[in-house]
Amino acid sequence: MVPLGRVSATAAAVVAANLQALLGLNTLVVRPWPEPSPCLVPTRGQYDASLILRELAPEGESGALRLGLINHDLCLSFLTFVFGEAQLGGRAAVVSLHRLQDLDDGSRAPQALFLERLAKVGLHETAHVLGLPHCRAPGCLMRFSGGLAELDRLGLEFCPACQGRLAVGRARIRRGDVRAPFGSGPGLG
Amino acid sequence: MNARLRVLLVDDELAMRESLAAWLRQDGHQVTKAAGGLEALAELERQEFDLALVDIKMPGMDGLELLRRVKDAHPDTLVVIITAYGSIESAVEAMKAGASDYLLKPFDPEHLMLLLEKMARQRDLLRENSALRQRLNEGECIGFAGLVGQSPAMRAVFGQIEDAAPALAPVLITGETGTGKEMVARAIHNQGPRAFAPFVTINCGAVTETLLESELFGHERGAFTGAVKARRGRLEMADGGTLFLDEVGEISQKMQVALLRVLEEKRFQRVGGNQYLASDFRLISATNRDLPALIQQGRFRQDFFYRINVLAIAIPPLRERVEDIIPLAEHFLAYFAAQTGKANLVLDSRAQRALRAYPWPGNVRELRNVIERAVIVAQGSSVGLDKLTFLSPLPEADSSAMTLAEVELAHIRRVLKSQGGSVSATAGVLGIDRSTLSRKLKKAGLEPS
Ligand SMILES: [Zn+2]
Ligand SMILES: [Zn+2]
């Protein structure tokens, strides 16, 4: 797991613990990388998530899965914002803490709620990396959330169908299609 | 509802194409990418798509032109236009040309999601409708029903039918999908001297070239793998009667040459045969294509065109003869009501207004489907607007009838909300400067907080 710029250590630890517990991925939080300033879109004051993914997992390079954490707001060229973004069945994902700290009325969310949301988005994006597409089952973590209200309605669990897909995804990592230089064995660097 | 869509994504910008395709795959859809209009059309020939997402601004064939061609050749493929903020006029124009919806870049994630769900529902509805259509085509035929009309344009068509019927010259019928070209052909046949001889049809767009050849000419036993028995072709079957070539614009040049020869020599051979057979048939062809344009592009033979286009009948689209809509609707209403044992159904005034306002991209056939559905779900004796299910948005209920200013304001609101109410962030996303945006907000009575 890669903090991009300054990111709260608690936040990183919570995401790591959840990846370990729910996905069974050994997760190591590495030393922070510098802020990905080339990925900033100046006119929008947001960072382009697809460019960050390319920084996290340059083409032709292989190695451990990488989940980036960033404080700034993320967007895509065609979307006004995203909570996170991932390479489906690839190697990298990124999650923004920016919007997760807010309540709908603009005030700050309690820490517990913020961390729960962060864990959800971290799990959701990482599951994309493991090859899972969106799921329509109510409450499943792989449901798409277009806003905080929807995110808050999700449980901290995958539906049975998605759990089956996760098993397949983990097997792919164990086979060594993706090697892990960080830590020992398969994991998320 | 199956939420998974087969999407054709058409955008000349590589980065946009790649990232949007990746996002759609993540959402569980099957995505094919095309960098331009011609590539997109080639893909559409190769496989079927539920939805085409088309960037409006592309070099060469632009999104609007592609939209028209998709709607023409693949009316069951839904088209959504992607356009940048600031070119909303073209989005509205696209809606008029048959686009199901449009997206203003950059889109709100929630909005994109709702749109995809809406498209999945429309796709399901289209499938249901084509199943209905199939049943109607196979079973009961409405005979002259499709030829109800009191508009000057339709009266002219009736006159042409009367003139064409007794003649033996080939007729070419042109008109959009669903205008009733086959019914006109049958009317010509039924009113002519060959009314008691067979009316044989073949849809040239629905079969491959090889199959078309053996369908038309027939084949001898062993002519090709699978030809276990000799078979008569449609040319033979139509002897003494009428041969109706539907979608004649889809015939390959090679087949055009072969048919031209038959028309000139009045004789032909079965595939794999060496004996000449004679057949005396009257030829009626139909197409929704612009054949002179295809000739210009070198895709249709001029000599063949002159042969089949001796008499020409053009059927106007339903939206150009609004006065025919209600009589037709009432005709179908009575027909389907009788079929289902529901007596005396009438359309209420709001339903009538909607029927008249709707652009009917699928023409009479679509109207027939809408009315059949309405009859099935109708309760009581009056059919209201809520019983009518349109495949495209109704002009008055949707953004195609919104003014530009309204569309613009709705988009600004959406982006403003996604940017947490920040005017400068919103201006950045929209690509306009802050003062312009503030002015627009003030004008709309939306004071930035
Ligand atoms: Zn997702
Ligand atoms: Zn699921």
Best of A80, A96, A107 to substitute, by most chain B Cβ atoms within 10 angstroms, is A80
Segment A113-146, tens digit of pLDDT: 999 999 999 999 999 999 999 998 888 999 999 8
Question: Do B290 and B332 have their domain in common?
Answer: no
CA distance B7 to chain A (A): 15
CB A69 within 8 A of CB A4: yes
The answer to whether residue B134 sits within a structural domain is: no
Pick B113's closest partner by Cβ from A50, A78, A144.
A144
> Which residue is associated with the tokens 């033996």?
B168
Q: Is B132 inside a domain boundary? A: no
Query: Looking at the domain assignment, is residue A133 inside a domain?
Result: yes
Tell me, yes or no, whether B168 and B81 share the same domain.
no
The reply to whether B448 falls in a domain is no
ipTM of the complex: 0.88
Looking at the structure, tell me whether residues B304 and B345 fall in a common domain.
no
Q: What is the structure's pLDDT at B5?
A: 93
Q: How far apart are CA B315 and CA A187, in angstroms?
A: 67
Res B196: pLDDT = 74
- φ, ψ of residue A165 to 5 degrees: the values are -65, -35
C-alpha span between A147 and A149 (Å, rounded): 6
Mean pLDDT of A58-67: 86
Residue span of the structural domain in which B66 resides = 6-127
Among B286, B314, B342, residue at a domain's last position: B314
Kindly state whether A103 is in contact with chain B, defined as any CB-CB distance less than 8 angstroms: no
Query: Number of folded domains in chain A?
Result: 1
Sign of the dihedral defined by the CA atoms of residues B93, B99, B105, B107, in that order: positive
> What's the pLDDT at B142?
34
Residues B435 and B345 in one domain: yes
Instruction: Give the CATH number of the domain where residue B120 resides.
Output: 3.40.50.2300
Residues around the ion ligand 2 (C-beta < 5 A): A 135, 137, 140, 142, 159, 162
Q: Which pLDDT score is estimated for A182?
A: 35
Q: Are residues B158 and B31 in the same domain?
A: no
Nearest CA in chain B to A45: B425
pLDDT at B22: 93
Least Cα distance to B146 among B370, B352, B372, B364 occurs for B364
Q: Average pLDDT by consecutive 10-residue portion of chain B (449 residues)?
A: 87 91 93 94 92 92 92 89 80 82 88 89 73 45 52 82 84 91 87 81 87 88 74 87 93 92 87 86 94 93 91 90 87 82 83 88 89 87 86 59 70 82 85 86 72
- Whether B191 and B249 share a structural domain: yes
**Listed residues B290, B314, B338: the one ending a domain:** B314
Residue A187 lies in a domain: no
According to the model, what pLDDT value does residue B379 have? 84
Q: Is residue B152, in this structure, part of any structural domain at all?
A: yes
B183 and B298 belong to one structural domain: yes
Residues B195 and B222 in one domain: yes
Asked if residue A158 is part of any domain, the answer here is yes
pLDDT at B135: 45
Q: Is the CB of B19 inside 8 Å of chain A's CB atoms?
A: yes
In a domain, B225, yes or no: yes
Tell me: do B274 and B340 sit in the same domain.
Answer: no
Maximal CA-CA distance, chain A: 47
Q: What is the CATH number of the domain that holds B269?
A: 3.40.50.300
- Residue B275 backbone phi and psi in degrees, to 5: -110, 140
List the domain range (segments joined by +) for residue A42: 2-182
**What pLDDT, on a 0 to 100 scale, did the predictor assign at position B272?**
86
The CATH number of whichever domain residue A133 belongs to comes to 3.40.390.10
pTM recorded for the entire structure? 0.56
In a domain, B133, yes or no: no
Provide the domain count of chain B.
3
